[in-house]
Amino acid sequence: MRVVHVTPYFAPAFRYGGPPRSVLGLCRGLQRAGVDVEVVTTAANGSTDLPSSPPQGSEYEGIAVHYAPVAFPRRLFGARLRRPLSAALAGADLCHIHGIWNVPEWTASRLARALRVPYVISPRGMLQPGAFRHGLWRKRAAFRLFERATLAAAEFLHATSSAEAAILHSLNLTAPVVTLPNGVDVGAASHAAPEFRLRLGIPPDAFVVLFLGRIHPIKRLDLVADSFAALRAKHSAAHLVLAGPDERGHLAGIMSRLTAHAGFVHAIDAVSEHEKWSLLRDADALVLCSDSESFGLVVVEAMAAAVPVVVTRTCPWHEVEAHGCGFFVEQSVAAISGALRELAADRALAAGMGARGAAFVRDRYSWDAIGRQMAARYVDLLGRGRDDRVA
């Protein structure tokens, strides 16, 4: 079985947050499940594009990839995709499209229909209410004009959480919804060496709060900043690390809220895969308080590294509370800072939550298990006749 994955960005373009990592992890899991995988993507990587692929394509850590040169419109991940996509789809059994509202999705869905290649779509959280509100009028128009039809024509829609599945069901599309979570390389955390405390000048015994992700308004770093300020009122030696690419200059406003805590706040840019795990090894708590998340891969990564998590109820992570891996709280400064104070005051409590999180991830979120499950969904889809699929 040969499956072409289409995504607006792919490893090593990790400045785009969780999606490049989750698509990479899924492709690795699928390969180990016996699926022949090829990725067609753009060379987009923020302000500095990745090298474009030669005509025969490239490879990233054993995965065949074609990085197409970026073109107009850049903000919608325009790229010269038609030729490599046509070549890839000509020999494909299935096309798996990641993300919506972008040129790669539109191009891939049109070509797949023209070549009679069935396709599935992973919206990757882009239909969540919080995400939909950004550019609302444009997205409403695009959804009515063509996005609804593109989604409806998919063989299935892939949701990464029950919350995302509920949103997809509410759209009343004809395509069925399959729910499979994102995964994580469960062994990566144990192989990484903690090095960021030394690099950033943070004392070995200091309580370190970590935010890891895009610096974007939807992530609500204003709440992270104010919660950290409240934490330091009781735990003055605490440090905050903000790790991720600064989108639209949002970081400056966040740092201005933290001027009273200079020397205890550290902002770093996007990190590599190795650096991510090293950074998690040095953290005592991870905070995620976004207005909207379809999944929140960083929560799984933190738990895999035995880091207790503080997640707000705007994110689909009730399992954190159910399995005792951290705190699942209201999206407020009082609730977030209260959870952080409990972790800072009781290191045994924090260690127990971290250990339970690591065990939970090993049982539920390995990429090998998820790759096998997705491969089974592909086999089931392709095992049906074309007439059955479109009926």
DSSP string for residues in 163-217: HHHHHHHHTT-SS-EEE----B-TTHHHHPPP-HHHHHT--TTS-EEEEES-B-G
For the record, the structure tokens of 83 come out as 């030729």
Alpha-carbon distance of 63 to 42, in angstroms, equals: 15
pLDDT over 70 at 365, yes or no: yes
Backbone φ and ψ for 386, nearest 5 degrees, come out as -60, -40
- pLDDT for residue 334: 98
C-alpha distances out from residue 114 to 90, 118, 139, 285, Å: 11, 10, 25, 49
Sign of CA dihedral 307, 311, 315, 321: positive
pLDDT digits 0-9 by tens, 223-269: 999 999 999 999 999 999 999 999 889 999 999 999 999 999 999 99
Nearest Cα to Cα of residue 278 among 378, 214, 208: 208
Question: Range with the lowest mean pLDDT among 48-62, 72-86, 137-151, 246-260?
Answer: 137-151
pLDDT over 80 at 389, yes or no: no
For the record, the structure tokens of 173 come out as 């599309």
pLDDT over 60 at 388, yes or no: no
Alpha-carbon distance of 151 to 120, in angstroms, equals: 8
pLDDT over 70 at 127, yes or no: yes
Non-local CB neighbours of 21 within 8 Å, separated by 6+ positions? 11, 14, 273, 297
Question: Range with the lowest mean pLDDT among 222-236, 251-265, 317-331, 356-370?
Answer: 356-370
Instruction: Report which DSSP code applies to 290.
Output: -
Q: How confident is the model at residue 272 (pLDDT cuts 50, 70, 90)?
A: confident
- pLDDT for residue 391: 41
pLDDT over 60 at 18, yes or no: yes
Alpha-carbon distance of 23 to 3, in angstroms, equals: 13
Average confidence (pLDDT) over 283-308: 94
pLDDT over 70 at 129, yes or no: no
Non-local CB neighbours of 133 within 8 Å, separated by 6+ positions? none
Q: Domain 2-183+366-390 belongs to what topology?
A: Rossmann fold (3.40.50)
Interstrand relation of 94-98 and 119-122 (parallel, antiparallel or unpaired): parallel
- pLDDT for residue 386: 47
For the record, the structure tokens of 79 come out as 């790229």
pLDDT digits 0-9 by tens, 65-100: 999 999 999 989 999 999 999 999 999 999 999 999
Q: How confident is the model at residue 130 (pLDDT cuts 50, 70, 90)?
A: low
- pLDDT for residue 305: 95
Alpha-carbon distance of 225 to 259, in angstroms, equals: 10
- Tally of residues, the chain: 391
Alpha-carbon distance of 229 to 260, in angstroms, equals: 9
pLDDT over 50 at 34, yes or no: yes
For the record, the structure tokens of 252 come out as 């400056």
Among 159-173, 177-191, 278-292, the range of highest mean pLDDT: 278-292
For the record, the structure tokens of 157 come out as 């829609």
- pLDDT for residue 299: 96
C-alpha distances out from residue 334 to 292, 329, 337, 339, Å: 19, 10, 5, 9
Q: Could you give the percent of the chain with pLDDT greater than 90?
A: 76
What is the number of alpha carbons within 13 Å of residue 377 lying toward its C-beta? Answer: 22
- pLDDT for residue 147: 87
Asked whether the domain spanning 188-364 has the same topology as the one spanning 2-183+366-390, the reply is yes
Interstrand relation of 63-68 and 58-60 (parallel, antiparallel or unpaired): antiparallel
Sign of CA dihedral 209, 212, 215, 221: negative
Alpha helix ranges (H) inside 50-185 = 82-90, 103-114, 129-132, 136-142, 148-152, 162-170
pLDDT over 80 at 133, yes or no: no
Q: Domain 188-364 belongs to what topology?
A: Rossmann fold (3.40.50)
Sign of CA dihedral 169, 171, 175, 179: negative
Over the Cα atoms of the chain, what is R_g? 21
Instruction: Report which DSSP code applies to 134.
Output: T
Average confidence (pLDDT) over 130-159: 82
Average confidence (pLDDT) over 113-134: 84
- pLDDT for residue 385: 55
Per-domain boundaries in the chain: 2-183+366-390, 188-364
**pTM, entire model:** 0.75
Q: How confident is the model at residue 26 (pLDDT cuts 50, 70, 90)?
A: very high
